[in-house]
């Protein structure tokens, strides 16, 4: 047992919770607050995992966006795309050479964020992603703003772990054919 040193009254604190929501499509001023270089899941390449935080617009300040940059990959096209995205990030920040990802931390940059595509197998829903980096050296950096038109929210699957009721009588028929319910294999 560990004493808290005083009595904590949970009823005195707001415990409202909300589900994670994707960032709305729009222009954002952001900065990287954390990064990590890791091997790809197959061990055949290197990715930079970056945690970005919204600076502007003010009403979304503090919200996070997670992005991976494929720096080395045995698939040449994946590597080329990842390096191009990383080079765009560096240019948006105003850095031409990087040897440590911490050089990118807390440097502001402006991006267009939009909803990407869901995975082809339907396993992963559409997530927000960086669609465009704006470069200060081009002089065309827009002010942060949320787009007026937003994609329709995706239907959220029910958070119900119960098995779906079925009109299929096969399990009962199988149990009867094998000598009763006790002879059925358990799902675990």
pTM of the predicted model as reported, rounded to 2 decimal places: 0.69
Please state the domain extents for the chain. Answer: 22-144
pLDDT-wise least confident of 1-5, 102-106, 168-172: 168-172
- pLDDT 10s digits, 137-168: 999 899 999 988 888 765 555 444 444 444 45
What CATH number belongs to 22-144? 2.40.50
- pLDDT 10s digits, 68-107: 999 999 999 999 999 999 999 999 999 999 999 999 999 9
Distance CA 95, CA 101 (A): 11
């Amino acid at each position: 047992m560990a004493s808290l040193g005083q009595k904590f009254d949970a009823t005195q604190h707001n415990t409202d919770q909300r589900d994670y929501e994707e960032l709305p499509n729009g222009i954002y001023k952001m900065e990287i607050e954390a990064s990590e270089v890791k091997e790809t899941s197959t061990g055949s390449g290197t990715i930079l995992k970056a945690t970005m935080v919204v600076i502007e617009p003010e009403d979304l300040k503090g919200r996070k966006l997670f992005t991976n940059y494929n720096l080395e990959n045995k698939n040449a096209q994946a590597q080329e795309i990842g390096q191009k995205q990383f080079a765009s990030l560096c240019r948006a920040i105003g850095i031409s050479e990087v040897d440590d990802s911490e050089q990118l931390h807390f440097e502001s940059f402006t991006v267009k964020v939009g909803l990407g595509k869901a995975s082809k197998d339907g396993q992963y829903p559409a997530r927000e992603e960086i669609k465009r980096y704006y470069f200060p050296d081009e002089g065309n950096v827009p002010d942060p703003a949320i787009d007026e038109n937003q994609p329709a929210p995706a239907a959220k699957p029910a958070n119900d772990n119960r098995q779906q009721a079925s009109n299929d009588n096969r399990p009962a028929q199988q149990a009867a054919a094998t000598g009763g319910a006790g002879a059925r294999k358990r799902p675990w």
